[in-house]
Amino acid sequence: MKITVMTADEQILSLDVDPHETVENLKALLEVETTVPLQQQQLLYNGREMNNSEKLSALGVKDDDLVMMVSHAASSASANDLSFKPDGSAVNPGAFQQHIRRDSNLIGQLFQTDPELAQAVVGNDLNKLQEILRARHQQRSELRRREEEEIALLQADPFDVEAQRKIEAAIRQKGIDENWAAALEYNPEGFARVVMLYVDMEVNGVPLKAFVDSGAQSTIISKSCAERCGLLRLLDQRYKGIAHGVGQSEILGRIHVAPIKIGNIFYPCSFLVLDSPNMEFLFGLDMLRKHQCIIDLKENVLRVGGGEVSVPFLQEKDIPSRFLDEEKYSKQASSSGAAGKTETTENANVQSGGQPSGGARGDVTQRPDFEAKVAKLVELGFAREMVIEALKLCDGNEEQAAGILFGG
């Protein structure tokens, strides 16, 4: 059969060889053709080095195939390309990347031990690869520095108070590192980002991605979303107020009832309208209770009406990126003054009143009938602190406070 051999200086040779010939005999033939000693030759087929004892047929070499030949001198130059700079980055990142790619076993081990570096190697961003190599070098340097400090501490004066303090800190850090390593091995999912629970719903016939949040007191819709759903005409502005969480957002009013479609069934729903640009629609605890919803994390579904309909929670790829962009959420929340991040919304305590918030009011807690009203509402199952806050917002109006506690 005929094969083509390309040398390091781009000389191309066409040779007739027996398929059952050994690589060593091929090198002897090439020594005659190129004057490169057999011992200095390195032959590569499909990126893999050919060993002297192997036969060409066993390596899969066929008629008209190409074999690369480099000398040891060229190999040493290649070794320089695979070296590293003092900061840990590769001298020749392209050559380093290709060298790793050619070794399938090494790539497989890399995906197990350092997936981030493996992704950079198989990717096309050499700058990202260099950044990761520098970071790994810095981590190794930090580890060596800490080990040297530990050795120095072990040799320090046992009566030196400062040395003992450092030893204590080193022991504590070692415990933390061991705990982290154990978590990484036995509980790796703990390091993954938790995607919040979203389902597909329709509000007044408009499809939405609804955030299901059992930690939020009320169901919330943003002003822009309510406008898109054609519901702003039903906004009752008597229920203005402030939604408190880690931050706060203005309650523009309340929509007392509107149809929402979950699965193929319609349900009546009421919600507060917030001036919050970063939370479109939040399905809160009030409606979860009203419609006897079950958050089934085993089956990854939301069951509504005691199980008469089930809808799956959305996968991350199906959730709009603006809902998942935490940095953007944080900026929006800080600019709007609203408790807009998902984490803060979970613990939001939504407060509203039958009249606009603010204005001068007397201390309702000092009124003679205040404790009686508190006791009556607490008997209905509400926390005392929540009852007091509701009565304060409503200027002691028991009926309005009850309306807030039951529906608001």
Average pLDDT over residues 178-194: 79
CA dist list (Å): 129 to 85, 99, 117, 121, 253: 14, 14, 7, 7, 52
Ramachandran angles phi, psi of 280, nearest 5°: -75, -55
Q: What is the pLDDT of residues 16-33, one digit of tens each?
A: 888 888 888 888 888 888
pLDDT at residue 100, as a whole number: 80
State what percent of residues in the chain have pLDDT above 70. Answer: 84
* Four-CA torsion 223, 224, 228, 230, nearest 10 degrees: 20
Q: Which domain holds residue 71?
A: 2-79
Look at residue 359 and tell me if it is in a domain.
no
CA distance 348 to 364: 24
Residues 214 and 320 reside in one and the same domain: yes
- Total of domains in the chain: 4
For residue 295, name the pLDDT band (cuts at 50, 70, 90): very high
213, 260: one domain: yes
Residue 120 belongs to a domain: no
Residue from 279, 275, 280, 278 nearest 203 by CA: 280
Residues 340 and 386 in one domain: no
Q: Does any domain span residue 111? A: no
pLDDT at 407: 55
Q: 33 lies in a domain?
A: yes
Q: Is residue 216 part of a domain?
A: yes
**pLDDT over threshold 70, residue 249:** yes
**Is residue 154 domain-shared with residue 203, that is, in the same domain?**
no
Give 123 or 112, the one with higher predicted confidence: 123
- Domain with 56 in it: what CATH number? 3.10.20.90
For 74-121, what is each residue's pLDDT tens digit?
Answer: 444 455 666 778 888 888 888 888 878 777 777 777 777 778 888 888
63, 79, 95 - which closes a domain: 79
Instruction: Measure the CA angle with vertex 274, ends 286 and 373; round to 5°.
Output: 50
- 382: domain CATH number? 1.10.8
Give yes or no: residues 284 and 398 share one domain.
no
Does residue 298 have a pLDDT over 80? yes
Radius of gyration of the CA atoms of the chain, in A:
35
Average pLDDT over residues 244-248: 61
Active site residue 160: no
CATH number at residue 271: 2.40.70.10
Residues 283 and 311 in one domain: yes
Identify whether residues 207 and 226 lie together within a single domain.
yes
Q: Is the pTM of this model over 0.75?
A: no
Contact 374, 391 (CB under 8 A): yes
Catalytic residue among 63, 87, 103, 213: 213
Give the tens place of pLDDT for each residue, 310-363: 999 998 888 887 776 544 444 443 333 333 333 333 333 444 433 333 333 457
Are 245 and 344 contained in the same domain?
yes
Spatial distance between the Cα atoms of 193 and 326, rounded to a whole number of angstroms? 11
Of 151, 175, 191, which residue constitutes the final position of a domain? Answer: 191
In-domain check, residue 99? no
What is the pLDDT, as a whole number, of residue 200? 93
236 plus 310 within the same structural domain: yes
Mean pLDDT of the chain: 78
Mapped onto helix, strand or coil, the DSSP state of residue 93 is helix
Same domain, 215 and 177: no
Residue 386 has pLDDT above 80, yes or no: no
Of 191, 215, 230, which marks where a domain is finished? 191
